Amino acid sequence: MKSKIWTKENLQTLIKENMSDYEFVVDSSRQPYVHVFKKGKIECQRGAGGVVTALDPILRACNGLWVAYGNGDADGKVTDANGKIRVPHDDPSYTLKRVWLTKEEEDGFYYGYANQALWPLCHLAFQRPVFKNSDWEYYCEVNKKFARMVLDEIGDKKAFIWIQDYHFTLLPKYLKEMAPSQLIIAHFWHIPWPNHEVFRICPQKHQILEGLLASDLLGFHIRYHCDNFMDTVDRELQCKINRERFSVIKGDHETLIRPYPISVDFEGLRDIATSPEVRKAMKALSQEYDLSGKKLIIGVDRIDYTKGIPERMLAIDRLLEMHPALKGEIVFMQMGVISRIHIPRYRELNDQVNALVEDINWKHSTADWDPIILARRHLSFHELLALYRMCDICVISSLHDGMNLVAKEFVSSRVNEDAVLVLSRFTGAARELEDAVSINPYNREEFANSLYKALNLSREERKKRMKKMRAVVLNNNIYRWAGKILSELLKFEFQE
């Protein structure tokens, strides 16, 4: 029997019928819209990253409240005295509450503990985590600050709180301590959860686990990450593991552990991808980068060491070594903004990527052609979809990824179904998108051979594969992800 296809409308109906008497709050580090100064004027940019891609359509559907760190240089100029603004600017649908952090808080909480300790701890990309007591203290303080901000907004109302990701492992506990009876809390973990042998090196492991277990519902992308978490809790804390209900009981509180594969707004992306704005952007990008007449391979990522960007450039190098006839016929374009540049490892990666582009282009270029284009500028949403529609191949070579929504965005945007997804088997998305060309990014020869295979698939095979992947994303869309989580959340009862 075919499963129900969730839509924006039936998700909205679910929320209106069951949650209208309560506040609905999303809490994340990354904000959905950022205001920046550009050429003397304030410009509103859509936030980057998977969390924003996933949650923006949900908040639009339910007129909720999004609490996030305000990090745009013009954010303070457009918010009211309480740090609030209605977003998006062209169709105000929900409220964004910005929390302001000092430079010391940002450095310790975000660049420090979150992204030099927890991020590498959870990603098997062979980057050693850095644990500093001072970073941990700022991490605790910022989690408390967000708890206070959330409670200031909801007052004495009952509320469903949906916390996002590894930045706020302590937030559920702080919220429950401050308002024990008026909150039902879900926490979704957007990155992998490591096995116990990896996690046990964390000096603050017990505080993190106890913080997360204050949630009523804790979600991960895939069952494997749920199993890793349950095993970690079982080995580290005095608690009861209920394998039948797949839950953890600590004291008198039960936390349900569930897999929810995150996704995208398939129909929304499909419709925008066919818009005049995207067609205009396709023409402009083709002219800007001289792409006409060439087979285009793209990578679209933050410049992060988990994304396998050097590995894909080395695969392009090997591809051209093995098949020199491709010179002048293909172009690999890597789009991506510099990320977390305050962290030394990211600066090193940035230098490594620059050096690889220079070396590979010098090695293979001709008088009028370079194999790699590295474009670091910010892409508008229409430009991003334009690139998805223009390319022949989209490459995702993550060394480790919780899901990877670029894969699902790309598939949703390919309305003509004539393109190939080359996908790392170390992504959560690989478990759903089985018709992608699978790669091991650590194996340069295999990677290069897979690119050559993708370039030479017949049109019939390309369309067959893409059609099947599009059906998967259509059925398992962002509204299904949210609907399943909210449906589970609604089974909980507020304490009296």
Residue 190 resides in a domain? yes
Which pTM does this prediction carry?
0.93
Q: What is the mean pLDDT of the chain?
A: 94
What percent of the chain is modeled with pLDDT above 90? 82
Would 65 be classed as within a structural domain?
yes
Question: Which runs of consecutive H residues, i.e. helices, occur in 63-112?
Answer: 75-78, 103-105
CB 356 within 8 A of CB 314: yes
**Residue 293 shares a structural domain with residue 433:** yes
Name which of 17-26, 105-114, 191-200, 209-218 the model is least confident about: 17-26
Q: Which domain holds residue 166?
A: 8-263+479-489
Round to whole Å and give the CA distance between 269 and 439: 26
pLDDT score recorded for residue 1 = 46
Residue 304, pLDDT above cutoff 60: yes
Residue 3: inside a domain: no
The reply to whether 456 falls in a domain is yes
**Residues 472/433, Cβ–Cβ less than 8 Å:** yes
Is position 2 within any domain? Answer: no
Within a domain: 360: yes
- pLDDT, mean of residues 181-205: 96
Work out the pLDDT band at 65, boundaries 50, 70, 90.
Answer: very high
Q: Are residues 255 and 276 in the same domain?
A: no
pLDDT of residue 3: 67
- The mean pLDDT of 137-157, rounded to a whole number, is 96
Q: Do residues 241 and 303 share a domain? A: no
**C-beta of residue 284 within 8 angstroms of C-beta of residue 292:** no
What does 242-304 look like in DSSP terms, one character per residue?
A: ETTTTEEEETTEEEEEEE------HHHHHHHHTSHHHHHHHHHHHHHTT-TTSEEEEEE--B-
Same domain membership, residue 332 and residue 254? no
Whether residue 348 is found in the same domain as residue 366 = yes
H-assigned helices in 402-489: 405-413, 444-455, 459-475, 478-489
How many domains does the structure of the chain reveal?
2
Is residue 495 situated within a structural domain? no
pLDDT of residue 150: 96
Same domain, 470 and 485: no
Considering the chain, what percentage of its residues have pLDDT values greater than 70? 98
In which band, very low, low, confident or very high, does the pLDDT at 48 lie, cut at 50, 70 and 90?
Answer: low
CB within 8 A of 331, min separation 6: which ones? 289, 291, 294, 295, 296, 297, 369, 370, 371, 372, 373
- Same domain for 137 and 32, yes or no, is yes
Q: Which CATH number goes with the domain that contains 301?
A: 3.40.50.2000
Antiparallel, parallel or unpaired: β 240-242 and 330-335 = unpaired
Three-state DSSP class for residue 207: helix
pLDDT band at 424 (very low <50, low <70, confident <90, very high): very high
Instruction: List, in sequence order, every beta strand (DSSP E) within 129-171.
Output: 159-164
Same domain, residue pair 37 and 160: yes
Q: Which residues contact 214 (CB under 8 A, 6 or more apart)?
A: 172, 173, 175, 176, 185, 253, 255
Considering the domain architecture, whether residues 121 and 231 belong to the same structural domain is answered as yes
Same structural domain for residues 485 and 427? no
- Pair 108, 238 in one domain: yes
**Inside any domain, residue 496:** no
Estimate the crossing angle of helix 223-236 against helix 205-212, to 10 degrees.
Answer: 120
- Asked if pLDDT for residue 59 goes beyond 90, the answer is no
